[in-house]
């Protein structure tokens, strides 16, 4: 596991329990399921979403034996979406290791992702309330809708800001929001605080995705653990590019982005123009707006270690671009 939580040893220990639960849950799987999943689980992700489940639960009646399985299931769901996402994007690298679809084949990746979805609901069925399962299911539906909408707008020069916002609200913010809700709901946190956590989770997820889109222009494969310029290559119009297209008056950037085929030189030039025309800077400002909205939502819940850590998560997300280069 990464050192992201090193300042919070108690939470880090609980996330290690989550990781172990995930490993135990696939211990009886056939090798062609188990081996790829072991690689993904051991690849050292930050485990933000399960951490948010735990932090939400610690605002109420915390019971680790009940919360750890939920946190593990949220991370398993996230893992399944990443495995499937890498098929769509034809990504070769994720968290610094070869993706399942690249190493084992697209066919294996599809079925491994499906297996994980089924395993998640197998773990939760019977032991947790229907409301929890319903909300998890809705989150998956929103993720699928967000990904489908993004796919439908590939190579489109008509994408508007509100459409981009809707896309990332589904593909990313939904599961962040669900994570805080799931922990709070299980721990019987009062409804007003639950609502604040749901809003905070949404805003954290939005900021996270916008910053992630910025890193596609700022990072290196080594620093961000995945292929850079991937969005440009596959025709995804993200916020930095959207903002730069608005600001670039000559049409040079537009013509370059939407030409029939792109060379490596074209991709590098697009990256330069996006930065020159303040695409990344303006996207970062939008991320900060969501970060501030998250802090406002968090200010409505009681002061606690959980709230302090959630506020730190917001700060860390917004600091990410400054750590590149």
Q: Indicate whether 3 belongs to any domain.
A: no
Reported pTM: 0.93
Q: Indicate whether 92 belongs to any domain.
A: yes
Q: Indicate whether 141 belongs to any domain.
A: yes
pLDDT over 80 (residue 51): yes
pLDDT value of position 325: 41
Supply the mean pLDDT for the chain: 93
How do residues 183-208 score in pLDDT, each as one tens digit?
Answer: 999 999 999 999 999 999 999 999 99
Q: Indicate whether 4 belongs to any domain.
A: no
Taking the C-alpha atoms of residue 202 and residue 59, their distance in angstroms, rounded to an integer, is 18
How do residues 203-239 score in pLDDT, each as one tens digit?
Answer: 999 999 999 999 999 976 554 445 557 888 889 999 9
How do residues 103-160 score in pLDDT, each as one tens digit?
Answer: 999 999 999 999 999 999 999 998 999 999 999 999 999 999 999 999 999 999 999 9
Mean pLDDT of 7-20: 97
Share of the chain above pLDDT 90, in %: 86
pLDDT band with cut points at 50, 70 and 90 for residue 310: very high
pLDDT band with cut points at 50, 70 and 90 for residue 313: very high
pLDDT over 70 (residue 293): yes
Look up the domain containing 228 and give its range. Answer: 9-323
Q: Give the CATH number, domain containing residue 131.
A: 1.10.600.10
Report how many domains make up the chain.
1
Q: Indicate whether 2 belongs to any domain.
A: no
Question: Residues of 211-236 as b/e, b for ≥16 C-beta within 10 angstroms?
Answer: bbbbbbbbbeeeebbbbbbbbbeeeb
Q: Indicate whether 316 belongs to any domain.
A: yes
* Alpha carbon of residue 84 to chain centroid: 13
Q: Indicate whether 127 belongs to any domain.
A: yes
Q: Indicate whether 87 belongs to any domain.
A: yes
Contact 63, 85 (CB under 8 A): no
């Amino acid at each position: 596991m990464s050192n992201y939580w090193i300042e919070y040893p108690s939470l880090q220990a609980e996330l290690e329990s989550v990781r172990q639960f995930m490993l135990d849950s696939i211990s009886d799987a056939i090798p062609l399921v188990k081996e790829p999943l072991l690689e993904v689980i051991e690849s050292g992700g930050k485990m933000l979403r399960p951490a948010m489940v735990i932090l939400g639960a610690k605002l109420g009646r915390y019971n680790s034996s009940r919360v750890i399985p939920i946190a593990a299931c949220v991370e398993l769901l996230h893992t399944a979406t990443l495995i499937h996402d890498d098929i769509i994007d034809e990504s070769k690298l994720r968290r610094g290791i070869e993706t399942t679809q690249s190493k084992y084949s697209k066919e294996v990746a599809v079925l491994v992702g499906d297996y994980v979805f089924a395993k998640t609901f197998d773990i939760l069925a019977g032991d947790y309330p229907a409301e929890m399962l319903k909300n998890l299911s809705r989150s998956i539906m929103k993720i699928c809708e967000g990904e489908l909408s993004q796919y439908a707008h590939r190579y489109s020069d008509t994408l508007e800001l509100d459409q981009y916002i809707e896309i990332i609200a589904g593909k990313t913010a939904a599961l962040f929001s669900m994570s805080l809700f799931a922990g709070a709901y299980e721990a019987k946190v009062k409804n007003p605080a639950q609502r604040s956590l749901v809003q905070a989770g949404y805003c954290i997820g939005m900021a996270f995705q916008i910053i992630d889109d910025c890193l596609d222009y700022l990072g290196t494969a080594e620093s961000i653990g995945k292929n850079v310029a991937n969005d440009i290559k596959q025709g995804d119009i993200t916020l930095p590019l959207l903002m730069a297209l608005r600001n670039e008056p000559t049409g040079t950037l537009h013509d370059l982005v939407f030409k029939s085929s792109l060379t490596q030189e074209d991709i590098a030039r697009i990256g330069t123009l996006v930065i020159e025309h303040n695409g990344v800077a303006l996207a970062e400002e939008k991320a900060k707006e969501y970060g501030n909205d998250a802090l406002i939502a968090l200010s409505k819940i009681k002061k606690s270690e959980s709230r302090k850590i959630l506020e730190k998560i917001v700060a860390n997300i917004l600091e990410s671009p400054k750590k590149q280069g």
